[in-house]
């Protein structure tokens, strides 16, 4: 059955409320594919799919479901019912993420419903912020001491029915549990069995602090091409590990956040969310944009008399504002991306601002000449050509400076630059563009 035929058959089963037919279609899929299907289905179909699953199937699928959908899927279930589903999730970090995406009061009830082992592991993870390495880590790992031989390590590993996923190395700890180094699996396999772990372990990389941000964790993995990394508490004790699959999720989340943020949206804006839900989330930024538009209109209104005298000003105004907006958005996007990758910091931000000023001035002068000549050809007005050229240089330069400074300023104020940056930048470029262009016109045509 090809994809189109599968989707048509599944839609028919959903429309008919055929739970048995739905399960028959989905049982051949991987759990991750079923979760993806849930994420890409409209809300009514998503609910029908979810309710057709039994508890075991739900427990296997929920670990792969988009975190933003978890509360919606469990909306009509009690804490006990949710606990019966999620206790089947094997990884403590996935289980913790699920609980953190539920209402706080319900999360506490679910914890009480879990068995003591799961509850203890999850409570340990819940002590760390969700956006930190501690909130990202998994406590399922293998550790050994440095004073044992490779032969002992091999016998110890064989006692496990299976190793934790993404195990490319095991961790060496002291008797107290403090992290000492890493021991790669391939090193274990090629070393003499009588060799001590202390002679084989790698001490080049220190562990990741549990308080390190998710974004910085992703940067470390990218820089050193890591598969897994130990997580340490403030005293250097091994408390967990972060694996590449968790980091890939972080990278995708950050990319989604940046793309949606440019439109004033957040990850909560589900593509298939109900109309009213989407309206409420988007109305806030539309209202903010309306206020900035009124501000730009107020600037234009100040120069109403000048525009009446020189009608060509009304024709050319959008050019100045638009060119500034594009120049500013280029810089803003570049800086937000650099901040996300950790390559822009306090040591190089001043150099970046100077560079963007240079780029803005050069671009401003170049396009000022082009637009000025075009204005002269169309309107045969030397003054008007000069005015729009100067206004373009001013607005493009200011836009570049604003785009470079704004993300850092918003971050210091606790505002997400990916979401608020474009709204603020648009206001600046519109106001500066209209003010410079119409202001100069008012002076020259007085």
Residue range 231-248, pLDDT digits in tens: 999 999 999 999 999 899
pLDDT for 113: 79
The DSSP output letter for 164 is: P
Token pair recorded at residue 327: 């120049």
Strand 228-232: give its sheet, edge to edge: 208-209, 228-232, 238-243
Residues of the chain above pLDDT 70, percent: 94
Task: Look up the pTM and report it.
Answer: 0.71
Tokens of 410: 């918003």
Class for the domain spanning 143-244: alpha beta
pLDDT-based confidence at residue 264 (cuts at 50, 70, 90): low
Backbone angles phi, psi at 178, to 5 degrees: -80, 140
Does residue 144 contact residue 153 with C-beta atoms inside 8 Å? Answer: yes
Q: Are 393 and 373 in contact (CB under 8 A)?
A: no
Q: What is the CATH number that goes with domain 3-133?
A: 1.25.60.10
Higher pLDDT, 112 or 367: 367
Contact 313, 306 (CB under 8 A): yes
Higher pLDDT, 390 or 276: 390
Task: Give me 200's structure tokens.
Answer: 């084989």
Structure token pair of residue 132: 């930190």
- Average the pLDDT over 198-215 and give the result: 92
Over the chain, what is the mean pLDDT?
A: 87
Confidence of residue 90 (pLDDT cuts 50, 70, 90): confident
Domain locations along the chain: 3-133, 143-244, 275-444
Q: Say which CATH superfamily domain 275-444 falls into.
A: SLC41 divalent cation transporters, integral membrane domain (1.10.357.20)
| Confidence label for 186 from pLDDT (cuts 50, 70 and 90) | very high
For residue 269, the model assigns a pLDDT of 56
Residue environment code for 207-245, b if the CB has 16+ CB neighbours within 10 A, otherwise e = bbbbbbbbbebbbbbeeeebebbbbbbeebbbbbbbbbe
- Concatenated DSSP letters of 189-215: HHS-TTSBHHHH-B-SSPPEETTSBHH
Q: Which residue has the higher pLDDT, 82 or 155?
A: 155
Residues 294-340 have pLDDT tens digits of: 888 899 988 988 888 888 999 999 999 999 999 999 999 888 888 87
**Which sign, positive or negative, has the C-alpha torsion 144, 249, 220, 414?**
negative
Higher per-residue pLDDT: 272 or 42 = 42
Q: What's residue 183's pLDDT? A: 96
Does 151 have pLDDT greater than 90?
yes
Question: Could you tell me the sign of the dihedral formed by the alpha carbons of 353, 356, 360, 362, in that order?
Answer: positive
pLDDT at 270 over 80: no
Dihedral sign computed on CA atoms, order 4, 7, 10, 16: negative
Using the predicted structure, report yes or no on whether residue 366 has a pLDDT greater than 90: yes
**Is residue 171 a contact partner of residue 142, using CB atoms and an 8 Å limit?**
yes
Of residues 100 and 166, more confidence is placed in 166
Q: Report the distance separating Cα 430 and Cα 293, nearest Å.
A: 8
Pull the structure tokens for residue 299: 């600037």
Instruction: Please give the pLDDT value at position 265.
Output: 60
């Amino acid at each position: 059955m090809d994809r189109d035929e599968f989707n048509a058959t599944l839609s028919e089963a959903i429309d008919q409320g055929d739970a048995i037919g739905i399960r028959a279609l989905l049982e051949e899929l991987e759990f991750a594919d079923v979760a993806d299907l849930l994420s890409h289905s409209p809300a009514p179909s998503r609910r029908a799919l979810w309710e057709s699953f039994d508890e075991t199937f739900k427990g296997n699928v929920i670990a792969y479901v988009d975190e933003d959908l978890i509360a919606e899927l469990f909306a009509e279930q009690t804490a006990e019912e949710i606990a019966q589903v999620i206790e089947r999730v094997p990884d403590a970090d996935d289980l913790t993420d699920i609980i953190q995406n539920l209402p706080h009061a319900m999360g506490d009830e679910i914890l009480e419903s879990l068995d003591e082992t799961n509850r203890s592991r999850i409570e340990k993870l819940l002590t760390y912020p969700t956006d930190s390495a501690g909130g990202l880590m998994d406590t399922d790992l293998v550790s050994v001491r440095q004073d044992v031989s490779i032969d002992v390590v091999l016998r110890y590993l064989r006692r496990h029915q299976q190793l934790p996923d993404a195990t490319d190395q095991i961790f060496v700890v002291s008797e107290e549990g403090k992290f000492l180094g890493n021991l790669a699996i391939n090193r274990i396999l090629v070393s003499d069995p009588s060799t001590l772990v202390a002679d084989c372990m790698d001490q080049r990389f220190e562990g990741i602090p549990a308080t390190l941000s998710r974004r910085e964790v992703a940067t470390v993995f990218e820089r050193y091409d890591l598969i897994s990394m130990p997580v340490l508490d403030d005293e250097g004790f091994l408390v967990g590990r972060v694996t590449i699959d968790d980091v890939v999720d972080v990278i995708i989340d950050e990319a989604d956040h940046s793309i949606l943020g440019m439109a004033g949206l957040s990850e909560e804006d589900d593509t298939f969310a109900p109309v009213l839900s989407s309206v409420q989330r988007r109305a806030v930024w539309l209202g903010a944009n309306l206020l900035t538009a009124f501000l730009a209109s107020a600037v234009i209104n100040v120069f109403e008399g000048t525009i009446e005298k020189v009608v060509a000003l009304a024709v050319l105004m959008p050019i100045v504002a638009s060119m500034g907006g594009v120049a500013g958005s280029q810089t803003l996007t570049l800086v937000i991306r650099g901040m996300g990758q950790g390559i822009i910091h306090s040591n190089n931000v001043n150099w970046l601002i100077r560079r963007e000023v240079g780029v803005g001035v050069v671009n401003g002068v170049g396009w000022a000449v082009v637009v000025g000549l075009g204005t002269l050809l169309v309107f045969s007005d030397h003054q008007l050509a000069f005015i729009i050229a100067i206004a373009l240089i001013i607005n493009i330069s200011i836009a570049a400076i604003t785009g470079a400074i704004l993300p850092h300023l918003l971050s210091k104020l606790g505002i997400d630059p990916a979401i608020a940056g474009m709204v603020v930048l648009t206001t600046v470029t519109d106001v500066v563009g209209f003010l410079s262009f119409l202001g100069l016109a008012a002076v020259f045509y007085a």
